[in-house]
Structure 1
Amino acid sequence: MLTASSLAILGLGIYAALCGISPFGTCRKCDGLGARITTDRHGRPKATGVCRRCHGQGKRLRLGRRLLNHSRDIHRAGAR
């Protein structure tokens, strides 16, 4: 039990450090290409437009960084 708890806390710490060092991750929808990739009727890939999730940037804000930014905004609003 102690080992599992310490591993979970260690994993959260590593993820928090990753979010602090590199707040952006590659988009899962377009794999960082920035374009929607579909296949034509022959099975060949083709780009059909700009990715809707990342808007063509290829990068998205990580969930942990989004939570950190939200909690920081709540703290600043309450401290006024």
Structure 2
Amino acid sequence: MTPIALAVACLLAVTLYYAALCVGSPFGTCRKCNGFGFATTTDRKGRPKRGKNCRRCKGRGKRVRVGRWIYNRGSRIYRAGTH
């Protein structure tokens, strides 16, 4: 196998894996709050305490994956154009 064909095969495998991941699990953990839904802060004694809700995930701890967001947007545009 040539190196270009190997690179194309690897890229295709990664793409198919990510597509399957978006179908099977459309929500991933929020990268900003690590899935907690809030920022952790410390009090005066250095003990961890709950902070404000995460603005990115609105306190849920989960976000829509990029691939799923693209699929949802495309299907919404398709539906709007065919009706």
**Aligned mates of 1:4, 1:71 — CA distance in 2:** 28
- The gaps in structure 1 that reach 5 residues or longer are none
Q: Does 1:64 align with 2:77?
A: no
* CA-atom RMSD in angstroms: 1.6
* SS of aligned partner of 1:30: coil
Structure 1 consecutive aligned stretches of length 4 or more whose deviation exceeds 4 Å: 39-44
The one-letter amino acid paired with 2:75 is R
- Aligned residue pairs total 80
Deviation at 1:36?
1.3
* Aligned positions of 1:46-65 closer than 5 A: 46-65=49-68
- The gaps in structure 2 that reach 5 residues or longer are none
Select 1:12's aligned residue among 11, 15, 24: 15
Deviation at 1:46?
3.2
TM-score of the two chains, using structure 1 as the length reference: 0.88
TM-score of the two chains, using structure 2 as the length reference: 0.85
**Aligned mates of 2:15, 2:74 — CA distance in 1:** 17
| Identity percentage of aligned residues | 51
Deviation at 1:43?
5.8
Structure whose CA Rg is larger: 2
Deviation at 1:78?
1.2
Q: Does 1:76 align with 2:79?
A: yes
* SS of aligned partner of 1:74: helix
